[in-house]
Chain A
């Protein structure tokens, strides 16, 4: 059952990202990205190979729709690799073992924002650095990252708050 839920989530997130969010452009270098949500919500005990591979698949699917030729895939694989280390740094091992996946009702708003916010920051920094790929554009990369990060994080947290049922 769980696998089916993740598959449905995968398709919904890809569709929402490419047909909704990619069309809403506000300028100043802001880009909304909600697809890291899928990587955050994969079960904590997912084998690392699957975690990397699924993130790659997710990234490539987004790339196909937004003509970025592998840029999203690269950033998704990057945060998938960092994810578990970062979770372990913030949360104690016992707490992580109890949870199946991150849930906002269990951890609370603030902790989720820290756990996911930092990964989104890394993701955006990686993405925009490779997109521009020039030292002279350094400030613009920082501008894009710092402006897009709150937007993506807000969307991701709101989606979790609205669509995910409380775990009792």
Chain B
């Protein structure tokens, strides 16, 4: 016993060092894959307020640009308004459309803190549980997909952007319907890579890549990017496809969070699919 105490006393500094390293590294590795709490991240209230205060000043510099973009979007939506259509068949009147039921709602928000130079880049947005944001909801901007909510705080949330290691987004080519998984290699903020597309499918350069909408996080057909380069993987019958993101994550400011109104129904159905038995 005395020897043990002497041992501890001799190595107390080293043990303290190991303890601190243990705390920080275990916290890091447990959170980088499965974020749990809003505390100690930028989704917590105090940090959120600080960042939105900073954002208030810095966003003033880009107002002109943002306005132009919103105007464009507004004009585009205005075109779809029934008012701007000329009715050809005068026999029918639209009273209440029961053929279509609302499937997705969008919550608009603003990015108050972001990054693109790290290996895993998270964005903080100024909407949280109070506005109906939950973990796992998709986030997109006017130009394309941005990411998935990974921590929902009370008033702020942290979004795992496409520029992270484990994003694994289901995407497909709009022309051929070939689908694969989108990943980011951590190098250039404008390019991602799609894996898992069989190389007997002929793909066209610069054809569009959109979300597949399989998991219900994103609606089908949301813009992701364009094919920039197609390369064969050696020794495997697969393409390695380089994608130019349609969204420039260095300048993203305004985003929409997707609320899928039929998510529960979809998940329940998926749960009923009989699982394949794993053979050992």
Contacts and interface: CB of A to CB of B under 8 A. Distances in A.
Interface of A: 19, 22-23, 25-27, 29-31, 48-49, 52-53, 56, 59-60, 63-71, 73-74, 77-78, 81, 130-132, 137, 140
B130 interface: no
A69 B20 contact: no
A69 B41 contact: yes
Contacts of A60: 24, 40
Interface string B20-59: 1101111110011001000011101001001000100010
16 contacts: A19-B50, A19-B54, A25-B115, A29-B117, A48-B13, A60-B24, A64-B41, A66-B42, A67-B158, A68-B118, A69-B35, A73-B23, A78-B21, A81-B17, A140-B186, A140-B187
Contact of B40 (A29, A48, A69, A132): A69
A25 B13 contact: no
B44 A64 contact: yes
B92 interface: no
Contacts, number: 93
B72 interface: no
A52 B108 CA distance: 43
B17 A59 contact: no
Given A26-B117, A31-B117, A70-B28, 5 more contacts: A25-B116, A66-B118, A69-B41, A73-B20, A74-B21
B278 to A, nearest CB: 27
Contacts of A70: 23-28, 31
A63 B41 CA distance: 7
B220 interface: no
B186 A49 contact: no
Nearest to B42: A67
A27 B32 CA distance: 22
Main secondary structure of the interface of A (DSSP, over half): helix
Contacts of A69: 27-28, 31-32, 35, 40-41
B20 A27 contact: no
A48 B16 CA distance: 10
Contact of B24 (A29, A48, A59, A131): A59
B205 interface: no
B26 to A, nearest CB: 8
Contact of B186 (A56, A59, A137): A137
Given A59-B24, A60-B24, A67-B42, A30 B117 contact: yes
Contacts of A25: 115-117, 250
B120 to A, nearest CB: 8
Contacts of A31: 117-118
B189 interface: yes
A81 to B, nearest CB: 5
A80 to B, nearest CB: 9
A135 B92 CA distance: 66
Nearest to A31: B117
Contacts of B158: 67
B191 interface: no
Contacts of A53: 20
